[in-house]
Structure formats: C-alpha cells, structure tokens
Amino acid sequence: MTVHICFHGIGVCRTEREPGEAKYWMAESVFRHVLDVIAAHADVEISFDDGNRSDADVALPALDERGLDATFFALAGRLDDDASLSADDLESLRRHGMLIGNHGWGHIPWRGLSPAEETREFVEARRALEDASGAAVTTAALPLGRYDRRTLAALRDRGYAHVYTSDRHPSRRTSWLQARYSVTATDTPDSIARIVAGGGRAESAVNYAKSLVKRLR
C-alpha cells in the first residue's frame, strides 16, 4: 500500500482566494522537516494542489535537495496570475523530473458539472497544461475532494490514467482512484510520521468506507 501526502501552499497565505484556504498552508520550516520524514519511507508519494507560487519557489528546491519527486496539480485558469505557477514554471518543474497533473480551470468542485463545464475542466484545462508544460497530462486531482460516480465516469471517459482524491487512506499503487492525506497548518513532522508509518488504521478504514459511498452515489 502507498500513502500519498498532498500539500497546497508553503509559507504564509497572504490572500485567501477561498474561505479557509490558509489552514492548508504549511510553514516553510515545518515543510522541510516533513520532507525529511517522507524521504525516509519508500512507499510515500507527494503531490501539490492549486498551483501556488510556493510550489516553484520553495517546494521544488527542497525536493531537489532530497532527491524526491512529486506531481503538481495545477490550475489552467491561473497560469497568468502572479501568485500562481506560470507556463514557464510548469516547464521548469517538468525539466526537474516532476509530473504535471490537471486540477481544472478555476478550482470549482467537479461534482454536478454541466457538459460544457466538464469540457472546460477535463479537456480544455488539460490541453492548456500540456501546452504550458510541454508534456502529456495523464492524471487529475479532484478540486475540494468532491466527487460521485458520474464525476468518476466522466474522467474515465476522458482517459485519465489516475484520479486523486482527498479521502485520507492508503491506496494500492495500481488503483485508478488514489486517496491522499492533505496536510494542514497544524500538522507537524510527528503527525506526518504517524501517517506514513501506518498509524490511524481505524480512521483510515472509516475513510475508505466513506469513499465507497461517494463512488456509488
């Protein structure tokens, strides 16, 4: 089983784009210690959501220092935003061995999208990220962690190799749907160490059951 750790922003969230965003930002010093914890475990994967500037300015150098790689789920609609990853940043991430995934166009929930919205979020956003990064985008991460069986069916139809959730339980590496643990401002190296070491099995079992309900509804 593989544990996926997902970061959003590193440092200080100076302007919240959505209510509560700041609680998903981790202090830079804590982030570096958390990466040290992750580097000591083989079955841990890393990802970053939302395409914040800190992905390139802070996360990339820290990953390189430790020989780690990650997938960066960027937002196509923010490529021209000074606080977000640009097309040049995506290309740089790719040249450093990182993968680029689709997080949509404008960070809206993907559950209940209209056909036109699905095209924009699943197809047009993906194409824009591929053009920017110069590489194929084969994975997607669900904005705000919301989905149902219709969402998943639409993503399968578009040929995504893996789709990532925020369901907080381990996943088999071969599974199409991959759960992740999103870190928050209150997490510490110790709390992440417990997760990657397999702690909280009862909570993980409950979360897995909840994810089954989402897939079926």
CB 120 within 8 A of CB 105: yes
Report which residue type is found at 46. I
Query: Rounded distance, CA 70 to CA 99, Å?
Result: 6
Segment 5-30, tens digit of pLDDT: 999 999 999 999 989 999 999 999 99
| Parallel, antiparallel or unpaired: strands 44-49 and 71-74 | parallel
Collapse the DSSP code of 75 into the 3-class scheme (helix H, G, I; strand E, B; otherwise coil) and give the result. Answer: coil
Alpha carbon distance 41, 20 (integer Å): 30
pLDDT of residue 38: 98
CA atoms within 13 A on the CB side of 125: 30
Find the helix packing angle between 28-39 and 189-196, rounded to 10°: 30
Q: CB–CB of 163/139 below 8 Å?
A: yes
pTM for this entry: 0.96
How confident is the model at residue 174, as a pLDDT?
93
Calpha distance 58→41 (Å, rounded): 22
User: Residue for token digits 């166009």?
Assistant: 105
Q: Which residues of the chain have pLDDT under 50?
A: none
Q: Under DSSP, is residue 82 helix (H, G, I), strand (E, B) or coil? A: coil
Shortest CA distance to 55 belongs to which of 31, 36, 77, 37? 31
pLDDT, residue 202, reads 67
The fold of 3-216 is TIM Barrel (3.20.20)
Number of neighbours of residue 52 by Cβ within 10 angstroms: 29
pLDDT for 210 equals 78
Predicted local distance difference test score (pLDDT) of residue 25: 98
Q: Are the beta carbons of 79 and 52 closer than 8 angstroms?
A: no
Torsional sign, CA 137, 138, 143, 144: negative
CA dihedral 9, 14, 20, 26 (to 10 degrees): 30
